[in-house]
Amino acid sequence: FERAERAMGRVDVLVNNAAAWQPDTFVPFREASRNPYLEMFTSPAEPMSPTSAAAQFAANAIAPALLIREFATRHVARHARWGRIINISTAGSDCFPGEVSYGASKYALESITRSAAHELGQFGITINALALGPVQTGWITPELERAILPTMALGRVGTPSDIADAAVFFASEQARWITGQKIFVSGGHRM
């Protein structure tokens, strides 16, 4: 926050977009855990470990919560009345076999979103979550894309600009009465 404010002035919009991901499972041995989508671009999920779970929760839930706290502290100290927080989640947060810690950590982020919206609304801060479907940022192989396309109502995987446009909307005045919501930005992959 200090570096951002020195470079560009006060922070009125926070987008929590960073994430950690490692496929993991409750299945106690690797060979029994089969996720066809994962197998197209990575090895099968490893049994969940304290290390894999902690790393994903630290990046996907705890770090955003601490950034929200810092945002709110600075916002309230300057008596601001307008602020926006957009948290980036996943469309699979409610159930993500083979990616258990990732899904659970993003589900935690969604709970943090709702709690923060309830507590910080009194200060003019809206907080919402974007639940993303498959977005091509270099990880979707042509083979994986062919497997995903039948699950996409709009017939294509997402692009970074699809997500940016939704984030810009939530950062705008037009979204002034929307808070505590999870919106699927997934091309109909999840509804």
Active site positions, annotated: 102
DSSP 135: B
Q: Which secondary-structure segment (H or E) carries 47?
A: strand 46-47
β pairing state of 24-25 and 46-47: parallel
Terminal-to-terminal C-alpha distance of the chain: 35
Long-range interactions of 89-97: CB distance < 8 A, separation 24+: 89/113, 89/129, 89/130, 89/131, 89/132, 89/182, 90/131, 90/132, 91/131, 91/132, 91/133, 91/184, 91/186, 91/189, 91/190, 92/190, 93/131, 97/25, 97/35
Written as six digits, the tokens of 149 are 């396309």
